[in-house]
Structure 1
């Protein structure tokens, strides 16, 4: 007579338990592989351009590439957004030669042409906004985690990337007067001036872009964005990059029709946009350590 230990019921129970364990292990492995596959897809999926647009890599192998600007002579300035005074700004000649022009910076994340030089902002800590000209770096005004900068000739605009107490600033380059235009901003990153004088800024922490109004009550123009970062405004409209690790986009808010167009998809930590000519621009893609040239197809040019 079979005992409890040799019972066919016990054997069947053991087989069922082993099968359950195997099923759980296979399911866990499948979930893990699926998760890894999704992460790999996000990381390696190539950038795609909208119909009528194309892109190409013009500069590669630049870790933490961030800000872009051109001086009066058309020389391109590029920043590397490293922390703890390891950041730098270098120039890129037409033949591809790089020249270091300003080392020892803490997350240089904003560049803009001013007069015969370039404005440099530092996002990490309390550092002055600098004006690099004549081979020297001149301090213009103190800032706290200053990121985006924009210039209209007389005025220099800057925004601070701080959690809840950031400011939108205007510096009069002639009178040397600093004015706070807005305060209590959440992760302000981008600021842009349009040819018609309109001023826009982003709050990455709130996922929106606003138009500044002198009387207050700034207008929300875009919301629900995926970590909106840098802004650039030209005759075509307002360009917005998303500073997200995966699936970031380059957006264009058309001035004429008011429509929002997605120009590039699947970017990684998109940063500065720099206009070169109508329908042609540069964008720094920090997540892949490179700079892309984006261009409208000839048949779409106006």
Structure 2
């Protein structure tokens, strides 16, 4: 009888373990495949699929889109996707190409690995601007190119002067600083991923916190609608908008490692969702409502 009870206990334990494993796997699968949710009035759709580790986006005047593919070990590249969907690799052999911004006559890009340069591409020719260590975010205001390093305790915020070629270290000793942008009020903002904070660069050197309580903030964008923040989390990440009153709005949820957000030139936005290897198009409420009115009802 004891032998039978022991066997029954083993079977129950195995069944319980199998159930727990199945539940855990099911939970992770749900997080991976659960569809992205948009806030009321906003519309989201997949613009481009199969873009491995999409990171930075740079729309072009001809309707094409440049996308950095943030793969390591020399497998990264920068891709051009035409308005018709045709794809051409412009640069390859890169390691974690991450930041990318328009500059006079071309575009600049970073590589988020140690001792890698920030470079500029013009007319198919690539040249080095300056050396960095794990540079991620870039911002260009025409006079200066700002770059920020994603490191633990020894990251820097850099400013490169286009005219003189001089490189200045604005901040040192930073930890997991990934994205930066400038807002209409002139403030230069940058993220602290590990602390969930966004700070504003100040002349006094004590950079104040302007937003906190975030989950792994990474890329930033400032425009007339406010401050946009993407969260570089593997599961259930969000795209947030902070309005002029400082109120946080969740615009997209259930994202997987979203990266850069940029205007699409048509009143909406493009978002790189690196965790799902794709580029999303985000349409604001007024445009979404207009499009819905144009669609014939069945």
- Displacement of 1:85 in angstroms is 1.8
CA distance in 1, matches of 2:277, 2:288: 29
CA distance in 2, matches of 1:249, 1:125: 29
Once the 2 structures are TM-superposed, how far is the Cα of residue 205 of structure 1 from its aligned partner?
2.2
The counterpart of 2:144, out of the listed 155, 158, 167, is: 155
Partner of 1:271: 259
2:240 corresponds, among 251, 265, 277, to: 251
TM-fit CA distance, 1:70: 3.0
Aligned residues: 289
- Which 5+ residue runs of structure 2 have no aligned equivalent? 290-298
Instruction: After TM superposition, give the deviation of residue 196 of structure 1 in Å.
Output: 2.8
Residues 1:128 and 2:117 are matched in the alignment: yes
Question: For residues 72 and 178 of structure 1, do their structure 2 counterparts lie closer, same or farther at Cα, with a shift above 3 Å needed?
Answer: farther
Aligned twin of 1:45:
34
Question: CA 1:75/1:197 → structure 2, altered by over 3 Å: closer, same or farther?
Answer: farther
CA deviations over 1:203-230 (Å, ceiling 9, x no partner): 2122221111121211112223222111
* d(CA) in 1 for partners of 2:287, 2:142: 35
Which deviations, in whole Å up to 9, do the C-alpha atoms of 1:109-136 show, x marking residues without a partner? 0100011110110002211111111221
Query: Aligned equivalents of 1:53 and 1:279: distance in 2?
Result: 12
CA contact (8 A) 1:71 1:117 kept: no
The structure with the largest alpha-carbon Rg is: 1
User: Could you tell me which residue of structure 2 aligns to residue 175 of structure 1?
Assistant: 164
Which residue number corresponds to residue 233 of structure 1? 222
- Asked if the contact 2:59–2:264 (Cα under 8 Å) also holds between the matched residues in 1, the reply is no
Cα distance in 2 for residues equivalent to 1:152 and 1:109: 19
Return the alpha-carbon distance in structure 2 between the equivalents of residues 277 and 74 of structure 1. Answer: 9
Query: What is the Cα deviation at residue 14 of structure 1?
Result: 3.2
CA shift at 1:34, angstroms? 1.1
Structure 2 CA distance, aligned partners of 1:277 and 1:213? Answer: 31
SS of the residue 1:95 aligns to: coil
- Greater shift, 264-273 or 94-103, is seen at 94-103
Q: Deviations over 1:78-121 (max 9, x none)?
A: 11111122211122221112222222211100100011110110
**CA positional deviation for 1:71:** 4.5
Shift of 1:277: 4.2
Query: Counterpart in 2 of 1:36?
Result: 25
Q: Which moved more, 1:233-242 or 1:220-229?
A: 220-229
What is the TM-score normalised by the length of structure 1? 0.91
- Residue 91 to residue 278, structure 1, CA distance change in 2 (3 Å): closer
Match of 2:279 among 291, 296, 301: 291
- Aligned ranges for residues 65-144 of structure 1 at < 5 Å? 65-71=54-60, 75-144=64-133
Deviations 1:18-56 (A, max 9, x none): 332232222212211111111111111110001111111
Q: Deviations over 1:151-172 (max 9, x none)?
A: 1111111111111111111111
**What CA deviation, in whole Å up to 9, does each residue of 1:213-258 have, x standing for no partner?**
121211112223222111111121111111111111101111x222
What is the distance in 1 between the residues matched to 2:241 and 2:106? Answer: 28
TM-align CA RMSD: 1.7
DSSP-derived class of the 1:217 partner? coil
Question: Larger deviation: 138-147 or 69-78?
Answer: 69-78
1:5 is aligned to none
| Preserved contact between residue 189 and residue 203 of structure 1 (Cα < 8 Å) | yes
- Return the alpha-carbon distance in structure 2 between the equivalents of residues 95 and 299 of structure 1: 22
Task: Out of 93-102 and 68-77, give the one that drifted further.
Answer: 68-77
